Amino acid sequence: MEKRDKIPVSTLVVIYTPALDVLLLERADRPGYWQSVTGSQDPGETLAQTAEREVREETAIDARCHRLADWRLSNVYEIYAIWRHRYPPGVTHNTEHVFGLRVPERIEIRLDAREHLRYRWVPWRAAAREVFSWSNRQAILMLPDQEASPDTAGSAP
């Protein structure tokens, strides 16, 4: 795969069930690092399009068939040094935009083996303890309030 400069804008998508079970993915490039779906914006995409594309690429779920909601939350964080080479020279920070995707139940996932080794569905409190990223942890901990909020309910299919 050819190296390309990533845009330092990304989406984080917490995929969850009505019982607040959260989908976690184990990174292929860092075994033991669990996370929600995440990925950088491509040129010309809206944030919602980025979220939909990343969900499709990483899990084979069509987000348009479920309830995708923009949580109107963004985090700015320093890009880990081990991943900084993926960005243009001098870029050290990324702005991450948080979305939630509600699916009806724990569904089977088809992983992209280049990105993730395994997946599992985990109750939300346990999921928050297992993710390596502080922003992912924060988003998962917000899940009960986000699920209850009419402002971030998203649209049903």
Which ranges of 71-153 does DSSP label H, i.e. alpha helix? 124-130, 134-141, 143-148
Separation CA 7–CA 154 (nearest Å): 26
What end-to-end distance do the CA atoms of the chain give, in Å? 35
Q: Are the C-beta atoms of 44 and 130 separated by less than 8 Å?
A: no
Interval 145-150 mean pLDDT: 82
pLDDT at 2 over 90: no
* Residues facing 69 on adjacent strands: 100
Domain ranges of the chain: 9-148
**pLDDT (0 to 100) of residue 3:** 52
Each residue's pLDDT tens digit, 32-89: 999 999 999 999 999 999 999 999 999 999 999 999 999 999 999 999 898 899 999 9
Banded model confidence at residue 4, pLDDT cuts 50, 70, 90: low
Pairing of strands 9-16, 93-102: parallel
pLDDT, residue 107, reads 94
The sign of the torsion formed by the CA atoms of 43, 58, 124, 153 equals positive
pLDDT at 83: 85
- pTM given for the model: 0.90
Instruction: Please compute Rg for the chain using Cα positions.
Output: 15
Structure tokens at 88: 């243009």
- Per-residue pLDDT, averaged over 14-35, amounts to 96
In the CATH scheme, what is the code of domain 9-148? Answer: 3.90.79.10
